Structure 1
């Protein structure tokens, strides 16, 4: 993340969590018993899901008038599954509000479903329930096709989905993603899907809509990665979301670094947990992005170099809060650069295999307290105090000139 980018869990990461299933409820006053009404609404949602999956516009319209052009807008998206699970039913009489969990997978790319919370309004006429409104639940993000017609470009290792974007632009992003996947695999290993789905909305506002947050929160951020930290086989699928305004002005090198960075988050998400500090998760992603590029420390860490040359180098590794976008781009850049140099130091002095082992060891802890210190001692043979001291010396040595 950052004045440059941003990625997965905790402060500064975006986490798409599956909704907590709540008991089904229904109020009296309807002609049908509550249980019968719940079953009837679920059947409507089942028919609606089947119509989406089969791309049957007539069957979709038969379930209700909400979003009549949805199937046209998402026609290019290769779906493998699409289901609704009713989690709550409120209201009485002929009009009810339903909360549902939408789960879907993109064919060939998602090993686990995307999970999205939806709020639907249904109306009962002539003994039939019909959907009259279907939108993201509060604080939930939109789906890309809710912003317009989707264009899809498939790469060797990637699928790029865009709205309001030229196909040639999306094709160039697919090429960059196809380069990012093997680069990340070379650094991290083969124990991940080795595929990436990239979403490109029309604007910064569209990015905010996908993330369910104000667009201002992502001003100047080139890309983010969504997904559940510490995920298992049932974890929501990852998505790399591009800010077309910030990403579009980057040069070819910057675009590649950003996409490789975000792809590293996709690869490491399953072993990234609440115990993982952002200096490590973001630093590792940056280390992967710059790995093999030949960039010197001064070229990749200009803000931190300025601080060193001015005699104000950081005394400690950055806290998670330092990765929040607060308008101080210099402080934010220093946080990323500090994490990158910490990971770079480990890779240089202990080897890349030890860096990967350290990352995994930190994530295996069930809580943040003591996670880094324990992993350092078990994997690198030093404690956290000594590690920070070595990092401070390394920063000065690398950036003094």
Structure 2
């Protein structure tokens, strides 16, 4: 064989060796080892999750930053709560890994900077299962407290279903952090923003697969409520869970909040005067609202009396619609308002325009609250 032909035939082999060498550079190999260590970590949820029904636990690595034998990984945690989440929930995480002789191990798993923690990041979690509820309690919550909340949630689910006769999961996840401060951490806010509230609901509005909502209880505010107050608060929040897929960014807050309160009071003995004391005081002063509550009226952190009037007015608007047009018409209006302009939804569901509804609501307020 001629020498030139030997050289030509050797070139592909040399090229393959060079490419293989590039693919196996030490830096790339180390990053692959880090990613494998994260994948191994994903296979078994941490011990602190013992008892929590999690599945599909996995980390989607977004970036790896190494500094010698230390690596920081940014990743998106994906998981489901078995039997409750129709789609994976997510949380941005930062994992710290340490390397020893080429072997990498996860040393810390924490929320990514600027990301609210998960309940289990705050300490041990207790688990109580109800008939329609899963209650997860933070550090310091007694089993008796959690069982009481599960029992109340189990009563709230059928009440919400009776008010919202449309398909929904019929189950709810309730988080009970150890304190008001811990609640604020979970929600990414300040304690003052939630002080005095019994509970709030988190979730994504709109149709389509989304993780189950979480009802987050304020242990201080909820603990101050009597039996009737606890029932009303949890039914209100569970109704938000039930109606979530039929709620959009265009749904008026007076309708979504008013409907949740209407469901909570529905069938109970509370009269308008008992359930709307702040609005009643205003009406008796001759200060009948000129319009249905605006979106900004529901903002927390301002005038508490004005906030109370907004919620009470929204409740009584939905109470009026159910009484005058029928409960099915109220549900129809709710569904239409998520996909149509409100004037169109009012006309098709009730046969009335906004001015007509406002006038009827004002007359009802004078009648009910004088």
Q: Given the two structures, how large is their TM-score scaled by the length of structure 2?
A: 0.88
Counterpart check, 1:178 vs 2:173? no
1:32 aligns with: 27
Counterpart check, 1:97 vs 2:67? no
1:198 aligns with: 174
Aligned residues: 345
Deviates more, 1:371-380 or 1:261-270: 371-380
Deviation (angstroms), 1:236: 2.5
Question: Could you say what secondary structure the match of 2:27 adopts?
Answer: coil
Per-residue CA deviation, residues 293-316 of structure 1 (Å, 9 max, x unaligned), is 121101111100010001112111
When you count helix as a share of all residues, which structure comes out higher?
2
Deviation (angstroms), 1:263: 0.2
Q: Which runs of 5+ in 1 are unaligned?
A: 1-29, 53-69, 366-370
2:353 aligns with: 383
Counterpart check, 1:272 vs 2:242? no
User: What is the RMSD of the two structures over their aligned residues, measured on CA atoms?
Assistant: 1.8
Question: Could you say what secondary structure the match of 1:394 adopts?
Answer: helix
Deviates more, 1:281-290 or 1:316-325: 316-325
Question: Could you say what secondary structure the match of 2:77 adopts?
Answer: strand
Higher relative contact order (CA 8 A, sep 6+): 1
* Contact 1:227–1:237 (CA under 8 A) maintained in structure 2: yes
1:362 aligns with: 337
Partner Cα separation in structure 2 for residue 317 and residue 86 of structure 1: 47
- Identify if the C-alpha distance between structure 1 residues 385 and 37 changes in structure 2 by more than 3 Å, giving closer, same or farther: farther
Partner Cα separation in structure 2 for residue 324 and residue 114 of structure 1: 27
Per-residue CA deviation, residues 80-118 of structure 1 (Å, 9 max, x unaligned), is 321111123345654443221111111222222221111
- Identify if the C-alpha distance between structure 1 residues 201 and 381 changes in structure 2 by more than 3 Å, giving closer, same or farther: same
- Identify if the C-alpha distance between structure 1 residues 314 and 39 changes in structure 2 by more than 3 Å, giving closer, same or farther: farther
Of the candidates 42, 50, 75, which is equivalent to residue 49 of structure 1?
Answer: 42
Partner Cα separation in structure 2 for residue 374 and residue 96 of structure 1: 56
2:8 aligns with: none
Deviation (angstroms), 1:31: 3.0
Deviation (angstroms), 1:38: 5.3
Deviates more, 1:98-107 or 1:240-249: 98-107
Deviation (angstroms), 1:328: 1.8
- Identify if the C-alpha distance between structure 1 residues 91 and 287 changes in structure 2 by more than 3 Å, giving closer, same or farther: same
Deviation (angstroms), 1:399: 0.9
Of the candidates 54, 71, 86, which is equivalent to residue 61 of structure 2?
Answer: 86
Question: Could you say what secondary structure the match of 2:43 adopts?
Answer: helix
- Identify if the C-alpha distance between structure 1 residues 41 and 383 changes in structure 2 by more than 3 Å, giving closer, same or farther: farther
Partner Cα separation in structure 2 for residue 213 and residue 120 of structure 1: 24
* Contact 2:201–2:240 (CA under 8 A) maintained in structure 1: yes
Question: Could you say what secondary structure the match of 1:276 adopts?
Answer: coil
Of the candidates 197, 213, 223, which is equivalent to residue 221 of structure 1?
Answer: 197
Bigger Rg, structure 1 or 2? 2
- Identify if the C-alpha distance between structure 1 residues 268 and 39 changes in structure 2 by more than 3 Å, giving closer, same or farther: farther
Per-residue CA deviation, residues 170-219 of structure 1 (Å, 9 max, x unaligned), is 11111101100011111102500000111101100110111122222211
Partner Cα separation in structure 2 for residue 139 and residue 316 of structure 1: 39
Partner Cα separation in structure 2 for residue 288 and residue 43 of structure 1: 50
Per-residue CA deviation, residues 326-362 of structure 1 (Å, 9 max, x unaligned), is 2421111111011111111111111111111111111
Partner Cα separation in structure 1 for residue 339 and residue 180 of structure 2: 35
Per-residue CA deviation, residues 365-395 of structure 1 (Å, 9 max, x unaligned), is 4xxxxx2112101211111222222222222
2:131 aligns with: 156
Partner Cα separation in structure 2 for residue 391 and residue 190 of structure 1: 26
Partner Cα separation in structure 1 for residue 53 and residue 294 of structure 2: 40
Deviation (angstroms), 1:321: 1.7
Deviates more, 1:90-99 or 1:278-287: 90-99
1:66 aligns with: none
* Contact 1:159–1:174 (CA under 8 A) maintained in structure 2: yes
Note the 1:2-401 alignment, pairs <5 A: 31-33=26-28, 39-52=32-45, 70-71=46-47, 73-90=48-65, 93-163=68-138, 164-233=140-209, 235-365=210-340, 371-400=341-370
